Amino acid sequence: MLLPLLLALSCTASSGKVDEASSGTDASKNPYYSRTDTTKLTVSNAEWKKILPDEVYEVAREKETEWAFSGKYYKTDEPGAYYCAVCGNALFKSTAKFASGCGWPSFFEPIRKGAMDYTEDRTHGMDRIEVTCARCDSHLGHIFDDGPPPTGKRYCMNSIVLDFVPDAGAPKR
């Protein structure tokens, strides 16, 4: 079981530059967080509640939506990759991000097939497709059909449940 140790180290190495708007995901408190392990997790909400910062828990596990233009990534256009802030599952490359103007970070395609799951969501009087992390089942946002080519999709995500790792600053192993 070397992985948790490596993750703890890489987290420590990168935590110095996390700004105050960070989701505060703390890998030392989150034994499930891994950017390399794609094994499906079955963790109860009671357990996540102990691990996740409140604002992450509310979106990820209670399907809340952050305010438009309030999140930390809606304007981000640096090269890198976006990971699930709950479990570390890789979700999007920055090359799939586009300026949607909607106030949430938006992407036109996932980093790999199977990274996310899609479920019909008829709550709030709308007919939408909910997007959840395929590894930890956390709510990430919704997907719409008004995105740019080549996919025509718009993955409308909550910043708070994403972890952005810039290419240049990515920890080397």
CB atoms within 10 A of CB 34: 20
CB of 73 to Zn ion, least distance (A): 16
Q: Which positions are annotated as active-site residues? A: 156
Matching residue, tokens 């718009």: 154
| Nearer to Zn ion (CB atom), residue 156 or residue 162 | 162
Tell me which residues in 119-158 interact with Zn ion (CB under 5 A): 133, 135-136, 138
Parallel, antiparallel, or unpaired for β 154-157 and 139-144? antiparallel
Q: Contacts with Zn ion: how many residues (CB under 5 A)?
A: 8
Q: Select 129 or 148, whichever has its Cβ closest to Zn ion.
A: 129
Nearer residue to Zn ion within complex by CB, 86 or 160: 86
Retrieve residue 29's tokens. Answer: 């408190």
Beta strands, E only, the chain: 80-84, 90-93, 97-98, 106-107, 116-121, 128-133, 139-144, 154-157, 162-166
**Phi then psi dihedrals of residue 170, to 5 deg:** -65, 135
How many helices (H) and strands (E) the chain has is answered by: 3, 9
Rounded to a whole number of angstroms, the minimum distance from the CB of residue 125 to Zn ion is: 28
Stretch that binds Zn ion, among 11-19, 23-31, 42-50, 87-95 (CB under 5 A): 87-95
Q: Nearest approach, Cβ of 134 to Zn ion (angstroms)?
A: 8
86 binds Zn ion (CB under 5 A): yes
Long-range contacts of range 7-11, CB-CB < 8 Å, 24 or more positions apart?
A: 7/33, 7/34, 7/35, 7/88, 10/171, 10/173
Q: How far is the CB of 6 from Zn ion (least distance, A)?
A: 19
Nearer to Zn ion, 46 or 126 (CB): 46
Q: Which of 7, 81, 84, 90 binds Zn ion (CB under 5 A)?
A: 84
Residues making contact with Zn ion (CB under 5 A): 84, 86-87, 89, 133, 135-136, 138
